Structure 1
């Protein structure tokens, strides 16, 4: 049986690994050009998402409700990330 602490550790390890991969890519991949501000925004988005997913996973709701809420949270993350990266909605925060 997986404990709550193990679930939380896994949930917060995923964004840490993604940021580590981005940092290594920024160091070694030509054309990867993230500024420190990009890393800060990515960390806020990824760890904020992990925080909300962790809240949902540790709630007393039914499994299907937890699953649907987590899907919605992850969909919001993907839409925000895509907007910041390429500007699919054309907001002032859109990337290039």
Structure 2
């Protein structure tokens, strides 16, 4: 069984692992072309999501509320990520 400290470390290590994927793509392929600002934006988005999930995990006591809020945070994260990646909504936020 994982302790609370180990769970917190795992939550904050996950964004680093996810950011390693495009970094390896940048180093090994010409098809992945992320700039430093791309890594910065992705890092801020991933770590803020991890922070919010950890905050909800520690502060919300009722399990059903905790799950619901975490799912909402992850849906918002996914929508922002998709908008930045492909501009699904066509907003100026995505550069459309």
Shorter-chain TM-score range: over 0.9
1:29-44 matches, cutoff 5 A: 29-44=29-44
Contact 1:86 1:95 in 2 (8 A): no
Q: Deviations over 1:19-44 (max 9, x none)?
A: 11221111112310101000000000
Is the 1:49–1:73 Cα contact (8 Å) retained in structure 2? yes
Bigger Cα displacement from structure 2, 37-46 vs 84-93: 84-93
| Unaligned residue ranges in structure 2 (runs of 5+) | none
Tell me what 1:49 maps to: 49
Q: Which has a greater percent of helix?
A: 2
**Structure 1 consecutive aligned stretches of length 4 or more whose deviation exceeds 4 Å:** none
**Aligned-residue CA RMSD in angstroms?**
1.3
